[in-house]
Amino acid sequence: MVKGRNHGLLIAGGGVSASLAALAMARLRPEVPVLLVPEAEGLGGSRTLLLFDEGLSDEERDLVAPLIVESWDSVYTAFPGKSRKLKLACHAITPERIEAALREALRPEQIRVEDKIVAVRDSSLLLQGGETILGHGALDARFWSHQTTLELGWRRSFGWFCRFGAPHRVDRPVIVDATLSEGKLCGFFSLTPFGDRELLVERVDYSPSPEVDTVAAGAAIADYVAARGWKGGAAEREESASVPVALGGDFGGYWRIGGARVAKLGARGGFFHPGTGSPLPDAIRTALLLTRQRDFGGAALHDLFEAEAAALWKKREFYRGFNRLLLRDGRGCAPLAALYEMDSALIGRFEADQLGLFDRRKLTAAAG
């Protein structure tokens, strides 16, 4: 038997899901000992995320309020021959803001950076070199496990943070600009403004492969910036991500990978937005679900989050069908164009994962 200090609740990982779980516990359950064990320096993920306000509860807004860098009351979409302004409030959340909030909420000894976690068990972490960190219960919130029983597509993005010499005149996010996109698969640009001269320009596409061709994506962004007539917009920094979008598969088998009785969050637990792959909405909800827990033992945490993940998988069957349309050769962005031609309220429910039966039938008729 391994003996040593019990660190309470162990959270493996440093991305969005792990960070928000630790942050929520520090704020709402400070009496519970927590140890966050990321595998690398830097917390809060690796890219800027948009969060739609539609469907958020007051408790969820309170959790994310300190993480918000910018907010807007509406967004734009643009497809060939049709542009729209949608009354959908949204917020930009950055890894830097998440990390700052987390380091303010946790004591330094509650964050332990390790090069490699070899295994997550129900109440301990095994580190490279043989050391075991003991706890009352453990959560595996590390990023993607490449072993999978799921059928997946990928939403790939590559972005430049640009600072222009003159105002760019983008006053709110452009969540989809497909006016200059070509090809058989769905691909588009998105824009997130930070002030009147800074702009995050992203190339996004849906693909059966997770690999991001940063060279090709960078060239596409350069062409896009030139076509828009923006000058002096050399990239100050870059962001790149490839997140899963589910198409089908054996979800029960997926949950058993990496430990049959280990609780999981984030992508490892199947907690990601069913349409965009974003980890943020589910990370907010699972973090608050964690704070309402009374038993932080490994078995109780496993049962809690396995049941939650299974319920979401069942609920999100419609999104998996919609994702298959986005990955189908020859359709391009037609399914997205059909979605963003709907009324703002339906689009808001799509983003909030709150589509009703009539919504699903209406969108199926338009996109199918």
C-alpha span between 50 and 90 (Å, rounded)? 7
| Paired tokens of 278 | 């974003």
The runs of H, that is alpha helices, within the chain are 16-28, 58-64, 95-105, 214-227, 251-256, 280-291, 298-315, 317-326, 334-339, 344-351, 357-367
Supply the pLDDT for residue 182. Answer: 65
Supply the pLDDT for residue 4. Answer: 65
> Closest Cα partner for 37 from 123, 136, 122, 141?
141
For 12, phi then psi, to 5°, come to -90, 125
Tell me what the pLDDT averaged over the chain comes to. Answer: 92
pLDDT single digits (tens) 227-264: 999 987 778 889 999 999 999 999 999 888 876 689 99
pLDDT single digits (tens) 149-169: 999 999 999 999 999 989 999
Please indicate whether residue 4 or residue 17 has the higher confidence score (pLDDT).
17
Residue-range domain boundaries for the chain: 9-72+90-149+247-317, 153-244, 324-367
CB 199 within 8 A of CB 215: no
Topology of domain 9-72+90-149+247-317, per CATH? FAD/NAD(P)-binding domain (3.50.50)
CB 172 within 8 A of CB 74: yes
Supply the pLDDT for residue 2. Answer: 46
What spatial distance separates the first Cα and last Cα of the chain, rounded to whole Å? 58
> Closest Cα partner for 97 from 141, 55, 47?
47
CB 183 within 8 A of CB 227: no
